[in-house]
Structure 1
Amino acid sequence: MRSLIEQFMKFGVVGFVAFFIDYGVLMLLSQGFGVDAVLSAGISFCVSVVFNYVASMRFVFTHRDDLSRSREFFIFIILSVIGLVINELIMLAGVAALGDSALTVTITKLVATVIVLVWNFFSRKKWLDGRDAE
């Protein structure tokens, strides 16, 4: 159980950095350039996925011997796309209900981030981690 907690903490650090990449791009596009907040959220999410893959597979999860790197990346992308769909649905609902001011976009993004964080950790743990479950 302790190693699971440590792994989740590492995942949290990677996710924290990925969140700021995601959030920074979101705010730059939506507030700085006036791009639609939902579209901006999708773009920012995709940018952060690249960082997240590299950092997660280097510092959090152990490569599975039965997966090639290309298959590993493909599974990572599929799991991330599911996370993106969850993110976009939450952003769409939040912006529709609360508006698209910087504060409401931020609140909506925080809610989406927590939910997607849980999805990402447990789905990647199940399908990508080569470490034995403890």
Structure 2
Amino acid sequence: MGHKMWKVVKFAITGGIGFIIDFLFTWFFKERIGLNQYAANGIGFSMAVLSNFCLNKFWTFNNKGKIGFQFGYFALFSLIGLALNTFLVFCLVQYCNLNFYLSKCIAIGLVFIWNFLVNNFITFKDQRIFKQQQ
């Protein structure tokens, strides 16, 4: 398997771990604590962001860049991803009458594409390749 494909696979594995974390926290805060489903969704998504940043920085992209700047980008793009995720869940539940958790699965799959692209090409871009092109 090529380097680029392996990066996508590692990103997907990291995303799978984030998916589990996201669902566990969402379920816990919605079903056990009784929070509104959208607030619970935000908590689950946020917990997944924290774990995904660490796994992506040190494993998926094995990036040595400055953690502060990278986390800033990662957090910004994650907030955009959260807005996309929540908007998609809302639309699928309200307008398509889909189950909340099915809607969440669909939204996570679509937001995965956004997340990979911005993190691969912006947050964790390979600085060595960028410098060689200048």
TM-score under structure 1 length normalisation:
0.86
Structure 1 pair 129–48 and aligned structure 2 pair: CA distance change class (3 A):
same
Give the superposition deviation at 1:4: 1.4
Question: How many residue pairs end up in the alignment?
Answer: 127
Please give the residue correspondences for 1:76-91 in structure 2 after superposition, counting only pairs within 5 Å: 76-91=74-89
Q: Distance in 1 between matches of 2:56 and 2:63?
A: 10
Measured against aligned partners, the alpha-carbon deviations of 1:76-111 in whole angstroms (never above 9, x if no partner) come to: 111111111111101221232327xxxx12100110
Question: Aligned partner of 2:111: which letter?
Answer: V
Structure 1 runs of 4+ aligned residues shifted over 4 Å read: none
Question: Aligned partner of 1:129: which letter?
Answer: K
Structure 2: runs of 5 or more not aligned: none
- Residues 7, 60 of structure 1: 8 Å contact kept: yes
1:119 and 2:117 aligned: no
Q: Distance in 2 between matches of 1:81 and 1:61?
A: 20
Measured against aligned partners, the alpha-carbon deviations of 1:2-27 in whole angstroms (never above 9, x if no partner) come to: 22111000011110011000011111
Q: Which residue of 2 aligns with 1:105?
A: 100
Q: What is the identity percentage for the equivalent residue pairs of Structure 1 and Structure 2?
A: 22
Q: Distance in 2 between matches of 1:22 and 1:30?
A: 12
Q: Distance in 2 between matches of 1:32 and 1:125?
A: 36
Q: Distance in 2 between matches of 1:95 and 1:47?
A: 23
Q: Which fold has the larger relative contact order, with Cα–Cα distance below 8 Å and residues 6 or more apart in sequence?
A: 1
Q: Distance in 1 between matches of 2:77 and 2:46?
A: 12
Question: Aligned partner of 2:126: which letter?
Answer: G
- Residues 56, 62 of structure 2: 8 Å contact kept: no
Q: Which residue of 2 aligns with 1:44?
A: 44
Q: Distance in 2 between matches of 1:62 and 1:73?
A: 14
